[in-house]
Amino acid sequence: MPKIILLNKPFGVLSQFTDPQGRATLADYIPHQGFYAAGRLDYDSEGLLLLTDDGALQHQISHPKRKMAKTYWAQVEGDITDDALMLLRHGVDLKDGRTAPAKARRLPEVDLWPRTPPIRERKSIPTSWVELIIHEGRNRQVRRMTAAVGFPTLRLVRMAIGNWKLDALQPGQYRSEEVFSAPKPRPYRKTKPPQKRNRPRRGQ
């Protein structure tokens, strides 16, 4: 039965098990062998990262065609406006094309662990939190989206992937689950009716 690990990846950790430069990796937090990350989370981002020991499940989670919903909390520079939220909901023009519409809402209060190191804040400029739910997986997409509407991301935390949620996991903590998956049904194929043979008429 496939197993999956839910890890709260800390800031400054690579989403891989080795690094020639000696930076922190998943090996510093996951003692189990045979698990691989299903998708990635940027070095400077935090939150939920899924790992599995099943190649088919890894493909299902990470493949772009699956378009699995990903929920992020982004701390942005400035007091985000309704107009900016509306732009995020309709899609944002980026260098690699227009994004799909996202679910976006302002978060009044956020109860999260302190980041190490803390973000660099400017005393004269406030910050605010926004929740974004996207179904794409472009490189640094959330950061580029908030910057495109005028509110650069200072801190980014992934809270959920599909039905898997971070819940109470603290940075560096993980929990494992078993995945119950039924075999996929075979695709239905229409069978062609037998072709009638044209018999020669009598007298021909």
pLDDT-based confidence at residue 183 (cuts at 50, 70, 90): very low
Is 53 annotated as catalytic? Answer: no
Is pLDDT of 89 > 90? Answer: yes
Whether the link from the prior residue into 2 is cis, omega within 30° of 0, is no
Indicate the pairing of strand 36-37 with strand 3-9: unpaired
Is pLDDT of 107 > 70? Answer: yes
Domain spans in the chain, listed from the N-terminal domain onward: 1-66+165-183, 69-161
What fold, for 69-161?
Answer: Alpha-Beta Plaits (3.30.70)
Q: Which of 42, 82, 83, 167 is catalytic?
A: 42
Q: For residue 173, give the amino acid letter.
A: Q
3 state DSSP class of 80: coil
pLDDT-based confidence at residue 111 (cuts at 50, 70, 90): very high
For residues 52 and 32, give the distance between their C-alpha atoms in angstroms, rounded to a whole number.
10
35: tokens are 């698990």
Nearest CA among 101, 108, 163 for reference residue 133: 101
For residues 8 and 75, give the distance between their C-alpha atoms in angstroms, rounded to a whole number.
18
Helices within the chain (DSSP H only): 55-62, 82-90, 141-148
pLDDT mean across residues, the chain: 89
Q: What is the mean pLDDT of residues 130-148?
A: 96
Higher pLDDT, 121 or 119: 119
Assign domain 1-66+165-183 one CATH number from 3.30.70.580, 3.40.50.300, 3.30.420.40, 3.30.450.40. Answer: 3.30.70.580
Residues 6+ apart with CB under 8 A from 129: 73, 74, 75, 76, 106, 107, 110
3 state DSSP class of 111: coil
Higher pLDDT, 47 or 181: 47
pLDDT-based confidence at residue 181 (cuts at 50, 70, 90): low
pTM: 0.85
Q: Are 7 and 49 in contact (CB under 8 A)?
A: yes
